[in-house]
């Protein structure tokens, strides 16, 4: 087994297969053990490593459980491998015998190097150090939260830097000065206060014939040391400086002969850009005081950039308001714009790409800073960025004001009459950005952030662009750019599907495309299948060896920056039945009132972790939803997740019940217990509003039924479809109605509820019979009748008997149908008055009239149908009134009374249009009316409609 801590925590088998550990807690536990490899770590220290200052009461026992999980993972990965994790003393121990830890290998390499150096073998010593340093993949335990990685990182990072210093000394011993200048330049930029690196760079530049550049490095280092730490350089560095100063006059004299007047090209004999100093150093070496520096700090544009034409045009529009070179400034012009969006949506890439396109319009330079607003470390202070900008603008380090206000004032003064583009990338807040805004109207500042930075718009007049997911065509274009047109164009459908699987998130698209680019044998369709089949899709969207280039890492930074309540809601949001939820449903997840949750939803929207879609509805991107589910599994306890689901399902159940009471207000209904004090009744008050609510939440209602069944919440899985019967009765969603009924049957059977199973089977049959599956429907009706009779529900049994009559009508058994309807009405009439269901009785009366009509008994048909019409009118039930009028129209048509038939049908249409939204019923009435005026039209055969359950 191979373990890695020099970078993100990584475990691989001897064959190189990555081992998934199963969660953050397992990772923190293993990290603590690996940092003390071969030594026993007490349980108390492991508790601290896993939970920090807030361990649960059962933390000691949970450590044992986590250790057991890790053992199982290791055994599954290498069944014949040597033991890794053993119990030792009062804790646990990782045994490295037969295994490899990169930190141990690194230490061994450093030790070998020092031995070789002491033996006078610098080449061998250098080779050992280079091999050891190559083991580092990033910061120690990168991406792992907690105190332990930070503490371990400090010690190991110091060892790494010392090894790097030793390595570069060995390079100097072998005379390799010029070759090490690029490496040392990068190291000095990354560690600007590390004196040994600065001295090594000075010596390497001097030995490469660039003494002036070496002296400039000294000036920069000394300025920073004084500014940030208030210290002077060591005697060693001062001596080196004197040595270079003595060498500089001789070199200047020689070059003056070669170059003529002017020495090194500047009036004071200093290097200027293009006069011998490398391009990589001109940005950090102060230019002559008589020439204003023109910083060009933009990062290189992305080679994979594609699309975003609309957004680029918007940025062009923002920039158009600033004055062109030589033109007067426009005082009212906006000089700041922000680009915000979720992690990985391509904000920085877009702005940098645009900045390179327009850099010619800013002749005085371009300043750029990554503000680290959402990074592993703390955000950069405004003063630290100001110091960098001022130095780039030519202010010597010692002259940069130490007071933030003074530094900001000097910065604004220097840019007052210049035309400079300032790009502030990855900002954390408006407060971080505000001191960095130039005062001059000819400067333009572009800010990117994962938050909306609304304060900049309110106080500083900033224009805003919220960057959304890539359009499908742009997403495919990005794939084309990275993997090559010849591959993407041969699989256009697969390329479009890959864009969809990646959620059209540019970071995810770029990662998926790069995996294809380095695996030429893999087709686009193969990559799609790999991602769809992956148990851990986020894990599949990462680049090996580049911890920062992962979708999960990008989301981590946004999530960790949230307040605790926003983190809680973010995790719970993933438990919803669909990617979007309304405010009230989100509040139900938390068990709070909407007023308390709305500000938290606003925080998530500001952080671009949710998208507000209007009408109190919020949506979470597909990949973010996967990430939120991961965080919920890792950080929200199982009991808390179950309670949140129950609250949400109860909210949907009670809202559905309230909606159906408006849709079919005349039906007796069994109510559901109201949830806790957090529950707020629905806002709809009419049947039309209730219908619209059901339609808007249709996907969610079906999702609740499915997920309730999956999570063992069977009461919700069968009660919700029954609660929705009135909605299903007037809606066209027959496939979903059948699916819900089948789930309800299975759930009621699992819970042993005969009442629930009986009504669920009745609902299922009411879908099967109209679809022409008469035998299946009849079998379900008969099972339902038996179940409801045994459950002691005579009203439900009577309803099923009436549905058996409706089934007989459809199969042409008119006599049997009349008998069923009479049985149903008799059973209802026999019930105590408080248990009767007048609505079912009225429907039964309607159906008995239809049966008599089909049997040729016109007198009995008219008697029952008109009695039913009076019943429905007096009850104020427009749906069943329209149904009765529809059947009366057919009754009069059969009696060759077209005028009476047409009057009934027109009245039915008027009732439907005035009081109810029932497109199916309206279509049937319209067809019957058309058949009266055009005898060639087939009106269909009006039959009795089976009724869903209670």
Is pLDDT at 671 greater than 70 in this prediction?
no
What percent of the chain clears pLDDT 70, i.e. is strictly above it? 88
Domain CATH for 919:
1.25.40.10
Q: What is the pLDDT of residues 724-764, one digit of tens each?
A: 887 886 666 778 888 999 999 999 999 999 999 999 999 99
* Rounded Cα distance, 158 and 794, in Å: 81
Q: Are residues 420 and 478 in the same domain?
A: no
DSSP output for 363-405: TT-EEEEE--TTSSSPPPPHHHHHHHHHHHTT--GGGS-SSHH
Domain assignment of residue 382, yes or no:
yes
Q: Which two tokens stand for residue 843?
A: 């429907």
Q: What is the pLDDT of residues 142-189, one digit of tens each?
A: 877 766 666 666 778 888 899 999 999 999 999 888 888 888 888 888
Q: Are residues 329 and 461 in the same domain?
A: yes
What pLDDT score does 730 carry?
67
Q: Which two tokens stand for residue 227?
A: 């500014």
- Residue 59 in contact with residue 110, Cβ under 8 Å? no
Averaged pLDDT, 345-364: 89
Q: Are residues 618 and 505 in the same domain?
A: no
Domain boundary among the residues 449, 466, 483 is at 466
Q: Are residues 547 and 580 in the same domain?
A: no
Domain boundary among the residues 114, 143, 176 is at 176
Q: What is the pLDDT of residues 262-273, one digit of tens each?
A: 322 232 333 333
- Residue 767 in contact with residue 744, Cβ under 8 Å? no
Averaged pLDDT, 917-922: 77
Domain CATH for 326:
3.40.50.300
Q: What is the pLDDT of residues 285-296, one digit of tens each?
A: 333 333 457 888
Q: Are residues 26 and 153 in the same domain?
A: yes
Domain boundary among the residues 500, 523, 555 is at 555
H helices within 35-146, ranges in order? 43-51, 59-77, 102-118, 122-133
H helices within 636-771, ranges in order? 638-663, 687-696, 698-710, 714-723, 725-729, 734-751, 754-768
Averaged pLDDT, 103-122: 91
When mean pLDDT is compared over 224-228, 522-526, 545-549, 712-716, the highest value belongs to 712-716
The answer for residues whose C-beta is within 8 angstroms of residue 750's C-beta and 6 or more apart is 714
- Phi/psi at 611 (5° precision): -115, 125
* Rounded Cα distance, 433 and 464, in Å: 15
What pLDDT score does 545 carry?
56
Averaged pLDDT, 42-58: 84
What pLDDT score does 285 carry?
36
The number of domains in the chain is 5
What pLDDT score does 248 carry?
60
Helix axis angle, 59-77 to 43-51, nearest 10°: 90
* Rounded Cα distance, 450 and 467, in Å: 10
- Phi/psi at 292 (5° precision): -70, 125
Averaged pLDDT, 320-339: 60
Domain assignment of residue 443, yes or no:
yes
Helix axis angle, 878-894 to 838-854, nearest 10°: 10
Q: Are residues 479 and 432 in the same domain?
A: no
Higher pLDDT, 800 or 481: 800
Contacts of range 742-748, beta carbons closer than 8 Å, 24 or more positions apart: 743/705, 743/706, 743/709, 743/717, 743/718, 744/705, 744/717, 744/718, 744/720, 745/718, 746/709, 746/717, 747/708, 747/709, 747/714, 747/715, 747/717, 747/718, 748/714, 748/718
What pLDDT score does 910 carry?
92
pLDDT, the chain, mean? 83
- Phi/psi at 418 (5° precision): -105, 160
When mean pLDDT is compared over 477-481, 581-585, 624-628, 809-813, the highest value belongs to 581-585
Q: Are residues 451 and 494 in the same domain?
A: no
Sheet with 580-582, edge to edge strand ranges: 580-582, 617-619, 611-612
What percent of the chain clears pLDDT 90, i.e. is strictly above it? 30
Is pLDDT at 259 greater than 90 in this prediction?
no
What pLDDT score does 263 carry?
29
- Residue 769 in contact with residue 946, Cβ under 8 Å? yes
Q: Which two tokens stand for residue 842?
A: 């009225």
CA atoms within 13 A on the CB side of 825: 18
Buried/exposed code over 472-493 (b: 16+ C-beta within 10 A; e: otherwise) = eebbbbbbbbbbeeebbeebee
Domain assignment of residue 892, yes or no:
yes
Q: Measured at the alpha carbon of residue 374, what is the angle toward residues 369 and 377, in degrees to the nearest 5?
A: 85
Q: What is the pLDDT of residues 64-78, one digit of tens each?
A: 888 988 988 888 888
Q: Are residues 146 and 165 in the same domain?
A: yes
Domain assignment of residue 450, yes or no:
yes
Is pLDDT at 934 greater than 80 in this prediction?
no
Q: What is the pLDDT of residues 483-532, one digit of tens each?
A: 775 676 778 888 888 888 888 888 888 888 887 877 777 788 888 888 88
Sheet with 41-42, edge to edge strand ranges: 41-42, 91-94, 85-88
Q: Which of 192-206, 433-447, 538-552, 845-859 has the lowest mean pLDDT?
A: 538-552
Domain CATH for 13:
1.10.10.10
Which run of H or of E encompasses 524? helix 524-533
What pLDDT score does 261 carry?
32
What pLDDT score does 538 carry?
79
437: three-class secondary structure by DSSP: coil
* Rounded Cα distance, 246 and 238, in Å: 12
Higher pLDDT, 43 or 548: 43
Range of the domain at 481: 472-555
What pLDDT score does 725 carry?
80
Q: Are residues 426 and 507 in the same domain?
A: no
What pLDDT score does 586 carry?
95
Give residue for tokens 């869903």. Answer: 948
Averaged pLDDT, 439-446: 87
DSSP output for 831-867: S-GGG--HHHHHHHHHHHHHHHHHTT-HHHHHHHHHH
What pLDDT score does 702 carry?
92
**Quick one: pLDDT band at residue 544, thresholds 50, 70, 90?**
low
- Residue 213 in contact with residue 277, Cβ under 8 Å? yes
Averaged pLDDT, 277-302: 56
Is pLDDT at 305 greater than 90 in this prediction?
no
Q: Are residues 360 and 477 in the same domain?
A: no
Q: Which two tokens stand for residue 22?
A: 């199963």
Domain assignment of residue 254, yes or no:
no
* Rounded Cα distance, 444 and 555, in Å: 29
Tell me the whole-structure pTM to 2 decimals: 0.60
Q: What is the pLDDT of residues 376-418, one digit of tens each?
A: 667 888 988 998 999 888 888 778 888 888 888 889 888 888 8
* Rounded Cα distance, 864 and 934, in Å: 28
298: three-class secondary structure by DSSP: coil
Domain assignment of residue 161, yes or no:
yes
Is pLDDT at 324 greater than 60 in this prediction?
no
* Rounded Cα distance, 674 and 532, in Å: 40
**Quick one: pLDDT band at residue 806, thresholds 50, 70, 90?**
confident
Averaged pLDDT, 557-570: 90
- Residue 847 in contact with residue 946, Cβ under 8 Å? no
Q: Are residues 576 and 461 in the same domain?
A: no
Q: Are residues 170 and 68 in the same domain?
A: yes
Residue 756 CA, distance from chain mean position: 38
Is pLDDT at 328 greater than 80 in this prediction?
no
Q: How many CB atoms lie within 10 A of CB 895?
A: 14
What pLDDT score does 941 carry?
54
Q: Are strands 421-427 and 444-449 parallel, antiparallel or unpaired?
A: parallel
The answer for residues whose C-beta is within 8 angstroms of residue 692's C-beta and 6 or more apart is 684
Residue 152 exposed, middle or buried by CB count within 10 Å (0-12, 13-18, 19+): buried
Domain assignment of residue 624, yes or no:
yes
Buried/exposed code over 896-929 (b: 16+ C-beta within 10 A; e: otherwise) = eeeeebbebbebbbebbeebbbbeebbebbeebb
* Rounded Cα distance, 769 and 810, in Å: 8
Q: Which of 22-31, 644-653, 747-756 has the lowest mean pLDDT?
A: 22-31
CA atoms within 13 A on the CB side of 792: 1
* Rounded Cα distance, 313 and 813, in Å: 71
Give residue for tokens 């010619």. Answer: 360
Domain assignment of residue 876, yes or no:
yes
């Amino acid at each position: 087994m191979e373990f890695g801590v020099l970078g993100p925590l990584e475990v691989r088998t001897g064959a190189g297969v990555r081992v998934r550990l199963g969660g953050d807690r397992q990772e923190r536990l293993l990290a603590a053990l690996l940092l003390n490899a071969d030594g026993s770590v007490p349980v108390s220290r492991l508790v601290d490593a896993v939970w920090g200052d807030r361990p649960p009461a059962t933390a000691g026992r949970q450590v044992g459980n986590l250790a057991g999980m890790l053992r199982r993972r290791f055994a599954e990965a290498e069944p014949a491998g040597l033991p890794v994790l053993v119990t030792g003393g009062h804790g646990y121990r990782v045994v490295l015998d037969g295994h490899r830890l990169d930190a141990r290998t690194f230490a061994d390499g450093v030790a070998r190097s020092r031995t070789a150096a002491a033996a006078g073998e610098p080449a061998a010593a250098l080779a050992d150090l280079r091999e050891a340093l190559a083991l580092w993949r990033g910061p120690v335990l990168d991406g792992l939260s907690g105190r332990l990685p930070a503490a371990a990182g400090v010690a190991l990072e110091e060892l790494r830097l010392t090894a790097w210093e030793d390595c570069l000394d060995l390079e100097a011993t072998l005379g390799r000065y010029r070759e090490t200048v690029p490496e040392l330049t990068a190291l000095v930029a990354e560690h600007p206060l590390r004196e040994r690196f600065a001295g090594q760079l000075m010596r390497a530049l001097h030995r490469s014939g660039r003494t002036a550049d070496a002296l400039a490095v000294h000036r920069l280092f000394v300025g920073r040391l004084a500014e940030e730490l208030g210290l002077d350089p060591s005697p060693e560095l001062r001596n080196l400086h004197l040595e270079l100063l003595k060498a500089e006059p001789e070199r200047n004299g020689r070059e003056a002969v070669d170059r003529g007047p002017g020495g090194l090209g500047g009036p004071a004999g200093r290097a200027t850009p293009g006069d011998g100093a490398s391009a990589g150093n001109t940005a950090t070496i102060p230019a002559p005081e008589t020439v204003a520096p023109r910083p060009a700090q933009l990062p290189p544009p992305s080679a994979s950039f594609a699309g975003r034409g609309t957004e680029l045009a918007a940025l062009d529009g923002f920039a158009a308001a600033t004055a062109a070179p030589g033109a007067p400034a426009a005082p009212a012009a906006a000089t700041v714009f922000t680009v915000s969006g979720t992690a990985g949506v391509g904000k920085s890439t877009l702005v940098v790409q645009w900045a390179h396109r327009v850099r010619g319009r800013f002749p005085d330079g371009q300043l750029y800073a990554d503000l680290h607003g959402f990074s592993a470390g703390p955000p950069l202070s405004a003063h630290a960025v100001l110091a960098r900008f001022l130095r780039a603008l030519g202010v010597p380090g010692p002259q940069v004001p130490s007071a933030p206000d003074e530094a900001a004032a000097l910065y604004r003064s220097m840019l007052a009459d210049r035309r400079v583009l300032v790009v502030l990338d990855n900002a954390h807040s408006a407060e971080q950005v505000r001191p960095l805004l130039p005062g001059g109207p000819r400067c333009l500042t572009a800010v990117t952030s994962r938050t909306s930075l609304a304060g900049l718009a309110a106080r500083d007049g900033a224009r805003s662009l919220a960057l959304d997911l890539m359009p499908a065509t742009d997403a495919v274009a990005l794939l084309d750019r990275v993997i090559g047109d010849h591959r993407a164009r041969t699989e256009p459908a697969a390329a479009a599907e890959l864009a969809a699987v990646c959620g059209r998130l540019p970071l995810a698209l770029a990662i998926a495309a790069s995996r294809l680019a380095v695996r030429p044998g893999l087709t686009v369709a193969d990559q799609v299948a790999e991602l769809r089949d992956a148990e851990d899709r986020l894990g599949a969207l990462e680049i090996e060896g580049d911890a920062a280039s992962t979708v999960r890492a990008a989301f981590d930074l946004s999530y960790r920056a949230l307040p605790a309540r926003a983190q809680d809601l973010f995790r719970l949001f993933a438990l919803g039945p669909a990617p979007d939820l309304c405010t009230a449903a989100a509040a139900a997840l938390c068990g709070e009132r909407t007023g308390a949750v709305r500000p938290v939803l606003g925080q998530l929207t500001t952080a671009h972790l949710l998208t507000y879609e209007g009408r109190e509805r919020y949506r979470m991107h597909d990949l973010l939803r996967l990430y939120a589910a991961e965080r919920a599994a890792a950080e929200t306890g199982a009991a808390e997740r179950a309670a949140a689901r129950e609250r949400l399902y109860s909210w949907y159940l009670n809202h559905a019940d309230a909606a159906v009471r408006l849709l079919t207000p005349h039906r007796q209904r069994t109510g559901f217990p109201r949830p806790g004090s957090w529950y707020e009744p629905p806002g709809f008050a009419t049947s039309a509003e209730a219908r619209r609510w059901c339609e808007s939440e249709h996907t969610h209602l079906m999702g609740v039924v499915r997920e309730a069944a999956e999570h063992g919440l069977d009461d919700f899985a069968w009660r919700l479809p029954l609660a929705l019967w009135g909605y299903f009765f007037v809606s066209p969603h027959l496939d979903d109605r059948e699916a819900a009924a089948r789930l309800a049957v299975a759930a009621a059977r699992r819970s042993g509820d005969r009442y629930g199973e009986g009504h669920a089977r009745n609902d299922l049959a009411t879908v099967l019979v109209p679809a022409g599956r008469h035998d299946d429907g009849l079998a379900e009706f008969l099972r339902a009748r038996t179940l409801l009779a045994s459950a002691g529900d005579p009203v439900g049994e009577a309803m099923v008997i009436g549905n058996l009559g409706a089934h007989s009508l459809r199969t042409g058994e008119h006599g049997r149908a009349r008998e069923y309807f009479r049985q149903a009405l008799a059973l209802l009439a026999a019930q105590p008055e408080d248990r009767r269901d007048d609505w079912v009785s009225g429907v039964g009366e309607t159906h008995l009239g239809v049966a008599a009509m089909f049997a040729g008994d016109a007198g009995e048909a008219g008697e029952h149908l008109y009695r039913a019409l009076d019943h429905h009118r007096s009850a104020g039930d427009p749906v069943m009134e329209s149904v009765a009028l529809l059947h009366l129209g057919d009754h009069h048509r059969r009696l060759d009374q077209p005028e009476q038939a047409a009057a009934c049908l027109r009245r039915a249409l008027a009732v439907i249009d005035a009081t109810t939204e029932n497109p199916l019923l309206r279509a049937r009435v319209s067809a019957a009316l058309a058949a009266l005026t055009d005898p060639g039209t087939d009106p269909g055969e009006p039959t009795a409609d089976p009724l869903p359950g209670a």
